[in-house]
């Protein structure tokens, strides 16, 4: 791909919207009338698990493997807790390191029968499904907003509904807003007042729903645009009117030289005219609401030698990989980076390319079974011809067509 970036790309349907639509249909007992459903592996896996649950022998113990999908594990824990049968919920070794404790505690408070089989607060979990009436619960959502969304999605089917109090700073809160917006679309009564979310006992209604294109996946094309010398790139079917919090990427990339204009066919990315004045002020990003944007922002800032401060990084260690350590390790193969970080912030003071003859030397980038690491490093292939993304197939978790879209642009 040349330094001039032109063409059109297709984005996947949002797996966050898709997974919520599938869970709502499962709780509502109707077939989902969903168009543009994500083809991401996480969504395919959730469909498979829901089919397995619906056809399972409830008199036997059934193993539900959520593999490496945090959303699937957390959404299904609540679903299984109130679904008759005995269930062993498990996942990959990495998934068994990702926290579930706050959701387990909340469900047990509401009457669920959940037993940790190994380490307290983590998979695998033995769940004995039984009716849950609902009521009132306090939950710590500082590690994941998925804990809250999981409870909210189930609550319309509980006789007493649910009142959820958040007792600490909430991670990725826009995803809770997305959950509530989708619940309302399907007829649920859900309200938010301060730190309290209230759901009435009002069953879901079947309505058609179109999944929007995924703003999280768009971040890698913003990265391509920022690293280009000039850009005229249309992200098809990506629109300003969205319930996705990662829409914030459009503003975040403005100081990195990318402008967004919305058209009937999608979002058009162009490169701002270069400013000849030296940049002295460091950029500041708080990614506590948008943690999935961190990898693309981090790579872009380092590649452009922009000083940057990232706040809200604490939970990045809980993702598919420890994304802060992984990003530093792999970027250090290409750049000399001066940085300082603590548990919730990282400051990158400067970065300069390491002299590498990439036409001769292969530069392997490890992906740590993390789709977002693979996709965030791909735009650097425009600068390093020897860059090799190891295990590129990991992108199937959220954006199966990513590599083919890049190939298409190479030909455009």
Question: What would the pLDDT profile of 21-80 be if each residue is shown by its tens digit?
Answer: 999 999 999 998 999 999 999 999 999 999 999 999 999 999 999 999 999 999 999 999
Q: Which phi and psi (to 5°) does residue 237 adopt? A: 60, 25
Task: Decide if 234 is inside a domain.
Answer: no
Task: Decide if 379 is inside a domain.
Answer: yes
Structure tokens at 166: 């958040």
Task: Decide if 228 is inside a domain.
Answer: no
- Domain identity same for 48 and 195: yes
Nearest residue to 129 (alpha-carbon basis) of 151, 101, 102, 107:
107
Q: Is the CB of residue 344 less than 8 Å from the CB of residue 314?
A: yes
Average pLDDT on 100-120 reads 97
Task: Decide if 97 is inside a domain.
Answer: yes
- Domain identity same for 217 and 167: no
Q: Which of 210, 236, 264 is the last residue of a domain?
A: 210
Residue 265 is a catalytic residue: no
Q: Which of 153, 188, 210 is the last residue of a domain?
A: 210
Task: Decide if 202 is inside a domain.
Answer: yes
Nearest residue to 160 (alpha-carbon basis) of 198, 217, 106:
198
- Catalytic option among 68, 214, 246, 292: 292
Extract the runs of DSSP E, i.e. beta strands, from 92-195: 113-116, 125-129, 135-139, 162-166, 190-193
pLDDT at 1 over 90: no
- Domain identity same for 145 and 217: no
- Domain identity same for 190 and 288: no
- Report CA torsion sign: 130, 131, 133, 135: positive
Report the alpha-carbon distance of residue 129 to residue 82 in Å, rounded.
5
Q: Which of 158, 180, 210 is the last residue of a domain?
A: 210
Average pLDDT on 176-193 reads 97
- Domain identity same for 91 and 217: no
pLDDT tens string 230-283: 999 999 999 999 999 999 999 999 999 999 999 999 999 999 876 555 556 899
Task: Decide if 290 is inside a domain.
Answer: yes
What angle do the packed helices 294-303 and 215-227 form, to 10 degrees?
A: 0
Nearest residue to 71 (alpha-carbon basis) of 167, 169, 179, 217:
179
pTM of structure: 0.94
- Domain identity same for 95 and 200: yes
- Domain identity same for 148 and 217: no
pLDDT band at 360 (very low <50, low <70, confident <90, very high): low
Strand 209-210 vs strand 34-35: parallel, antiparallel, or unpaired? parallel
Structure tokens at 90: 């498990």
Q: Is the CB of residue 125 less than 8 Å from the CB of residue 115?
A: yes
* Domain count within the chain: 2
- Domain identity same for 193 and 217: no
Task: Decide if 269 is inside a domain.
Answer: no
pLDDT tens string 133-159: 999 999 999 999 999 999 999 999 999
Say which CATH number the domain at 126 has. Answer: 3.65.10.10
Q: Is the CB of residue 376 less than 8 Å from the CB of residue 220?
A: yes
- Domain identity same for 205 and 334: no
- Domain identity same for 217 and 122: no
Question: Residue 321: which domain range?
Answer: 213-221+278-411
- Domain identity same for 217 and 190: no
Residues in the chain, total:
412
Task: Decide if 246 is inside a domain.
Answer: no
- Domain identity same for 62 and 157: yes
At 407 the three-state DSSP class reads: helix
Q: Which phi and psi (to 5°) does residue 376 adopt? A: -70, -30
């Amino acid at each position: 791909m040349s330094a001039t970036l032109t063409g059109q790309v297709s984005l996947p349907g949002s797996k966050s919207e898709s997974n919520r639509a599938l869970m709502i249909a499962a709780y509502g007992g109707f077939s989902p009338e969903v168009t543009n459903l994500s083809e991401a592996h996480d969504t395919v896996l959730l469909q498979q698990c829901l089919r397995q649950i619906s056809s399972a022998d409830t008199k036997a113990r059934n193993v539900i493997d959520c593999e490496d999908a945090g959303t699937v594990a957390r959404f299904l824990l609540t679903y299984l807790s109130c679904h008759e049968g005995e269930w062993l919920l498990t996942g990959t070794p990495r998934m068994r390191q990702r926290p579930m404790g706050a959701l387990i505690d909340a469900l047990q408070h509401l009457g669920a029968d959940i037993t940790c089989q190994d380490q307290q607060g983590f998979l695998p979990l033995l769940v004995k499904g039984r009716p849950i009436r609902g009521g009132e619960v306090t939950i710590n959502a500082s590690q994941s907003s998925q804990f809250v969304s999981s409870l909210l999605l189930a609550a319309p089917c509980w006789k007493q509904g649910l009142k959820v109090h958040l007792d600490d700073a909430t991670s990725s809160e826009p995803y809770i807003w997305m959950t509530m917006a989708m619940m309302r679309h399907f007829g649920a009564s859900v309200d938010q007042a301060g730190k309290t979310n209230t759901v009435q006992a009002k069953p879901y209604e079947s309505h058609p729903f179109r999944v929007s294109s995924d703003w999280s996946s768009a971040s890698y094309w913003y990265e391509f645009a920022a690293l280009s010398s000039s850009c005229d790139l249309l992200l098809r079917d990506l629109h300003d009117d969205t319930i996705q919090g990662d829409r914030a990427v459009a503003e975040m990339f403005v100081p990195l030289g990318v402008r967004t204009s919305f058209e009937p066919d999608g979002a058009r990315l162009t490169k701002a005219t270069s400013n000849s004045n030296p940049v002295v002020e460091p950029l500041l990003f708080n990614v506590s609401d948008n943690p999935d944007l961190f990898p693309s922002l981090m790579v872009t800032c380092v590649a452009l030698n922009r000083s940057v401060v990232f706040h809200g990084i604490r939970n990045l260690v809980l993702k598919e990989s420890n994304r802060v350590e992984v990003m530093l390790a792999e970027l250090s193969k290409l750049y000399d980076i001066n940085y300082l970080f603590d548990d919730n912030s990282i400051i990158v003071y400067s970065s300069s390319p390491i002299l590498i003859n990439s036409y001769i030397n292969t530069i392997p980038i490890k992906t740590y079974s993390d789709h977002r690491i693979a996709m965030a490093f791909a735009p650097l292939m425009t600068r390093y011809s020897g860059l090799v993304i190891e295990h590129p197939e990991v992108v199937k978790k959220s954006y199966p067509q990513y590599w083919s879209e890049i190939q298409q642009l190479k030909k455009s």
